[in-house]
Each structure stands twice: as C-alpha cells, then as structure tokens.
Amino acid sequence: MNQSAFKDSGELHVAIIMDGNGRWATARGLPRTAGHAQGAVAVRQIVEAAPALGIRTLSLYAFSSDNWRRPTAEVRALLHLFARHLRSEAPTLAAHDVRLSVIGARHRLPPSLVAAIAGAERRTAGGRALDLRIAIDYSARDAIVRAAARLAPGEAGRVAFTRRLAEAYGADGAPDVDLVVRTGGERRLSDFLLWECAYAELYFTPRAWPDFDAGDLAAAVADFRGRTRRFGGIAAGSPN
C-alpha cells in the first residue's frame, strides 16, 4: 500500500487494543465468555462506524501470543467465537466493501478457525472502503525477529524490512499506525504493532471494550485530530 496516499487524504490507520471483556463480565456476575461475546458486538459497531470517521485501516488486537496462558476452557471458547463470527460476518463485510485480513501465526490455531479465516479473507478480498485487520496469536516482537531473519543478503533499509515484516505475520503491508486506542483502563501497548506504532498517538480510556461504541470511537478520533504531530520536528510557528 502507498503510505503517502493515506496521509495526504487524511485517512487514518487506527489500531485498537480491545481490553476489558473479562472484567466487564465479572463485574456483572457473568462468566468471562459472556464478556467476549459482548465484545464481538462492539467490534461490529466499530467496524460500521470507522469509514465515516476517516479511518481507512482498522487493526484490532483480538488474541495475543501471550493469551495462550489463559485457562484452557476460556481460550477454547474464544477461538470458537472467532471462527463463528468470521463465518457469520464475512457476507456483511463483503456487502459493505470491507476487506478482512488476519495477522499473526496460524500454526497453533484449530483447523476450523484457520478454515474460517481463509474463507473470510477470500470472501472480502475485493473490499475497498475499509481494511480490517484482526490480530490473532500475534506478537510484534516475534514478527520483528522473523522479519529480520527473512532479510536476504544485500537487503537493507526500512522499505525492505517493512515488506519482510508484512510477510512475517501473513498479511499485506499497511501504513504506519496513526492512533492507538486501548480500552479497559490499562496504559500499555502489550506487544501490538510495535514497529508500525513508532510515531502513533496514544489514547487510553477506562471504558471496557464491550461498552465502547461509535461515539467513543468518534471522541478518540476527534482527540487525535486536535493534536499536533511533529515526527521529531518543530511545529510551524512554534518557539521551540
């Protein structure tokens, strides 16, 4: 993808760390799986709202490589939920011109989920209104290590490395992240898109992911658009 085209048109790459599903459920006396199910509803709302807010690429952190440490029953239920929603949502995504891709490792995922991913990616391959990227079994540090190992003799520079990085996590390249949103009250990146987030603006909210809606996303984007991004330089007219 041509990164400058996104920047010149004002279109954004927003990355969201969807945190707080389990705590949302526990606070309501529900099993943690209920929080994940409600979180899937929030995903649908955010995907629908994103294009109108100038978001051209939306990356969602669904399951990190470290999440395998969670209880087996919860992991199994979460992966089943992913597969079910990929199958059910793919026709709607295609109808709304949304292209879905999944980034991350796939060798540890159950075959049913791998098949659901492949089917959804094929079904939505022609989407142009929004690039929706879902990170499953993803680790930015692992991806960086794999990308470095893929560099051929004589390959050097950011362009070559960025291409290898895209290959390392199994998806096409994307522009650098403009805005990272994390729900649930925590304030860290948790190994998500570390290379692409080098100059990203950060936005943290205490709202748990199941409660995060289109209005919250609009508020995050408005906050971002009110900031001055210097990229190491000095803003025009600044005494500094």
Catalytic residues: 19, 67
Distance (Å, whole) CA 106 – CA 84: 17
* 80 touches 47 (CB < 8 A): no
Of 14, 15, 31, which Cα lies nearest the Cα of 23?
31
Distance (Å, whole) CA 227 – CA 180: 14
Distance (Å, whole) CA 59 – CA 43: 11
Question: Which phi and psi angles does 62 have, rounded to 5°?
Answer: -95, -40
What six digits make up the tokens of 188?
């860290």
CB-count burial class (<10 Å; 0-12, 13-18, 19+) for 9 = exposed
